[in-house]
Chains A and B, each alone.
Chain A
């Protein structure tokens, strides 16, 4: 399963756009690139997933270059409630969907 590398922490202010980049040099051909969000004392929550190019939903955008060696999660106009840990991981399309969580990125949004 793909090993991912993310910044340990990031700080931002309310209203700003936040981009968190993840490196995954050995992502498998049949892996989705997936991001989860985790608030303190809660289980992770799925944010967004993509295979290549750009994916957008009501929460975030995900940019994946053609070589798929990295991806960038973009959170538009963050608020204090976006303070959380964000995990980037490869999610196999096939059997089991065994996810490997790294340490994630702690995002702190300040007022």
Chain B
């Protein structure tokens, strides 16, 4: 399917477990982003990537790890999940043109019990 996809769409995990959220885009966009959105709030940037093998921290990176070995994939790993990481996670991508819009995935709803 063309576009940007996320998996899983829903995940329940226990405190202390490692969990990986997947993001895949088919546009060959250079930039990819991970955001979290907590109930009733706007989105906060966790990590972003300008290209394969180039990543950088956003506003709330603690407790998260990212990698980008291929342009089309940008997985987000919670190394040891905590209840405060219960949230909806959105992946986004954009091209390299000035002012290019970001395209967002459908989101992953993660619950940490």
A residues apposed to B, CB below 8 Å: 32, 34, 41-46, 49, 87, 91, 93-104
Please give the distance in Å from A23's CB to the nearest CB on chain B. Answer: 16
Task: List chain B residues, Cβ under 8 A from A49.
Answer: 99, 101
Question: How many residues of B are counted as interface, with CB atoms below 8 angstroms from the partner's CB atoms?
Answer: 27
Cβ of B41 and Cβ of A46 under 8 Å apart?
Answer: no
Instruction: Please tell me which one of the listed residues A97, A100, A104 contacts residue B31 in the complex, with CB atoms under 8 A apart.
Output: A97
Cβ of A103 and Cβ of B42 under 8 Å apart?
Answer: yes
B65-113 residues with Cβ-Cβ distance < 8 A to A are 90, 92, 94, 98-107
- The complex places the Cα of A71 from the Cα of B98 at a distance, in Å, of 20
Cβ of A97 and Cβ of B102 under 8 Å apart?
Answer: yes
Cβ of B101 and Cβ of A46 under 8 Å apart?
Answer: yes
Q: What is the number of contacts between chain A and chain B, taking CB atoms within 8 Å?
A: 56
Given contacts A99-B43, A100-B45, 6 further A-B contacts (CB under 8 A): A32-B99, A43-B105, A44-B102, A44-B104, A46-B101, A97-B94
Cβ of B58 and Cβ of A101 under 8 Å apart?
Answer: no
Please give the distance in Å from A73's CB to the nearest CB on chain B. Answer: 15
- Asked whether A93 and B98 contact (CB < 8 A) given A99-B45, A101-B43, the answer is yes
Cβ of B42 and Cβ of A98 under 8 Å apart?
Answer: no
Task: List chain B residues, Cβ under 8 A from A91.
Answer: 99
Which partner residue on chain B sits nearest A94 by CB separation? B98
Instruction: Please tell me which one of the listed residues B31, B42, B58, B103 contacts residue A87 in the complex, with CB atoms under 8 A apart.
Output: B42
Task: List chain A residues, Cβ under 8 A from B50.
Answer: 95-96
Task: List chain B residues, Cβ under 8 A from A32.
Answer: 99
Which partner residue on chain B sits nearest A93 by CB separation? B98
Cβ of A99 and Cβ of B99 under 8 Å apart?
Answer: no
Instruction: Please tell me which one of the listed residues A34, A87, A98 contacts residue B45 in the complex, with CB atoms under 8 A apart.
Output: A98
Which partner residue on chain B sits nearest A95 by CB separation? B50
- The complex places the Cα of A49 from the Cα of B98 at a distance, in Å, of 12
Please give the distance in Å from B92's CB to the nearest CB on chain A. Answer: 7
Cβ of A42 and Cβ of B42 under 8 Å apart?
Answer: no
Task: List chain B residues, Cβ under 8 A from A103.
Answer: 40-42
